Structure 1
Amino acid sequence: MTVFRDFLTRFRPTASPGRAAPSGVPADRSAELGAELAPPLVLLEQAQAEARTVREQADAAAGSLRHEAEREAATMVAAARAEARRVQARTAEQVLRAAEGEAAALLAEADREAVTVRDRARSRTPALADRVPALVLEHLAAERERQAPDRGRPQDGGL
């Protein structure tokens, strides 16, 4: 790289003003500028190459991390689904047990009511059985009384 002092020498007059100097080799300004800019441009190209390498490494690392994260997420989803199935089975079992318990309680209550009805029927049956012949006789007597006034009239022959 060019030193500041070398930069200033470009602006120093080479001769005193006056008559034209004898011909010499003209200074090649573009070559001087090219020589001056070549080292920083080489450093810039190296920096760009290094940046490109860093980006490629970062892309590779990001791809690897993404792949690992996807694999880990898939593992977590599979574990969550398995746990959901276990929870669902456990809940279904609890609901089934509760329903079975409720059904057993209902059956026991129905059995108790059936026993109560049977006992009531047993206790009432003798009294009702004693009343049935009397009720039948009353019914027959009422039928005879209803038919008794009709005996004196001729019947219509089934019309």
Structure 2
Amino acid sequence: MTGFRDFLTRFRPAASPGRAAPGGVPADRSAELRAELAPPLVLLEQAEAEARTVRERAAAAAASRRWEAGRRAEEIVAEAREEADRVRAHTAERVLRAAEDEAAALLAAAEREAVAVRDRARIRTPALADRVVALVLEDLAVEASPPPPSHGRSQEDGP
């Protein structure tokens, strides 16, 4: 690549003003420009090719990472579903144990209450039986006694 000094020499006059110079070969400016621009253009083409290669590699790496991320996401979802099933089973087991414990406590309380009711019944039954017998005997005594005298009118006559 040409330097800055060579670039500036393009703008200098080729000769000092004065008498006419002998005829020469005209300069081929397009060839000079091609020669000057060829190395940077080659470097630019190489940079473009390298950039294309980098983009292709990046696209391949991105596709690979997307595929790997999708696979990992599926694994995470499967693990989460398994964990959810384990948590559900564990929770159901805890709830079932709690319900069984509560049922056992209620059954024990009911049995204690039944025993207490039986005890009260056993204690109260003789007194109640005596009372019932006394009431029955009283009713029998009332039925066996003659009816009280009426005051001249029968109850069938009415008022």
- TM-score norm. by structure 1 comes to 0.80
**Residues 39-78 of structure 1: matches in 2 within 5 Å?**
39-78=39-78
Indicate the residue corresponding to 2:28 in structure 1. Answer: 28
Point out the more displaced range, 26-35 or 124-133. Answer: 26-35
Whole-Å separation in 2 of the counterparts to 1:104 and 1:24:
123
**Residues 136-155 of structure 1: matches in 2 within 5 Å?**
136-138=136-138, 148=148, 152-155=153-156
Whole-Å separation in 1 of the counterparts to 2:134 and 2:93:
60
Indicate the residue corresponding to 2:80 in structure 1. Answer: 80
Q: 1:63 to 1:120 in 2, by over 3 A?
A: same
Equivalent pairs, count = 156
Whole-Å separation in 2 of the counterparts to 1:144 and 1:45:
139
Letter of the 2:93 partner, please give it: E
Identity of matched residues, %: 75
Note the residue ranges of structure 2 that are not aligned, 5 or more in a row.
Answer: none
Question: Structure 1 residue 28: deviation in Å?
Answer: 2.6
Indicate the residue corresponding to 1:94 in structure 2. Answer: 94
Whole-Å separation in 1 of the counterparts to 2:30 and 2:149:
155
Note the residue ranges of structure 1 that are not aligned, 5 or more in a row.
Answer: none
Question: Structure 1 residue 19: deviation in Å?
Answer: 3.2
Whole-Å separation in 1 of the counterparts to 2:88 and 2:135:
65
Q: 1:149 to 1:30 in 2, by over 3 A?
A: farther
- TM-score norm. by structure 2 comes to 0.80
